[in-house]
Amino acid sequence: MKILTLPLFLCAFLALSQAAAFPDNEDEPVKEETDLKVLPEAEALNWTHPAGDELGTEENVLKATNDLIRRGSCSHGWWEFNGRCFRYFPISISWANAQRNCVSMQASLASVHSFEEYHFVRNLVNGLVQAWLGGSDAQEEGTWLWSDGTPFHYSQWCHGEPNNMAGQHCLQMNYGGSKCWDDQWCNARRPYVCSKKNSSYR
């Protein structure tokens, strides 16, 4: 009797081992330990930042992603275009004070070098506001220079401008119905756009 029991035990053991090695449903993969550590999708989307900002909703995630694309690697408040970071300041001050404020942020009043760049800057200031750019001919009448030292090759002057009316030496954008450039008295008060090189741009 004892002799018959051992073969039966071995057969049962082999059958159980094979059942464990080959699951009944071959289409269902065996979960590994790493699979168990993945957060459920719903939990990941509703993750809340420790500071309390709800970043997890799909709308906020998409908005943050789009902002990062537009901002590039520029710091908060600055927007990237063609290797430079731009920022609009809606406070109305003189051209010289605007330039001084830009310099305090390792920047300069913005220079513009193409139609595409001007379109970008216009969008930055909502396309309507007359604002200071970095152009000036204060050093020599009729010789326009950018305050950041870059060449003044592109321009978007309005018809009949610059006219140097009574000593106008500073460049404002979005002038008139054509939203073009105009020379203005430098002590006029305007909002302004600063720009600086994006240090991470290659």
Contact status, residue 156 vs residue 180, Cβ threshold 8 Å: yes
pLDDT digits (tens, 9 = 90+) for 60-111: 544 544 454 455 679 899 999 999 999 999 999 999 999 999 999 999 999 9
Mean pLDDT for 136-165 is 95
Tokens of 193: 């756009």
Residue bearing the bigger pLDDT, 31 or 4? 4
pLDDT of residue 72: 64
State how far the Cα of 71 lies from the Cα of 198, in Å rounded to an integer.
11
Domains defined for the chain, CATH in brackets: 68-197 (3.10.100.10)
Model pTM score: 0.64
Band (pLDDT 50/70/90 cuts) for residue 44 is: very low
SS3 of residue 2 by DSSP: helix
Is the confidence at residue 138, as pLDDT, over 70?
Answer: yes
State how far the Cα of 95 lies from the Cα of 98, in Å rounded to an integer.
5
pLDDT of residue 166: 86
pLDDT of residue 70: 54
pLDDT of residue 65: 42
Band (pLDDT 50/70/90 cuts) for residue 20 is: very low
Is the confidence at residue 148, as pLDDT, over 60?
Answer: yes
Is the confidence at residue 163, as pLDDT, over 70?
Answer: yes
Per DSSP (E only), the strands in 63-139 are 79-81, 84-93, 108-109, 131-136
pLDDT of residue 126: 84
Span of 21-30, 127-136, 177-186 with lowest mean pLDDT: 21-30
Is the confidence at residue 154, as pLDDT, over 80?
Answer: yes
Mean pLDDT over the full length of the chain:
76
Q: Phi then psi for 115, rounded to 5 degrees? A: -60, -40
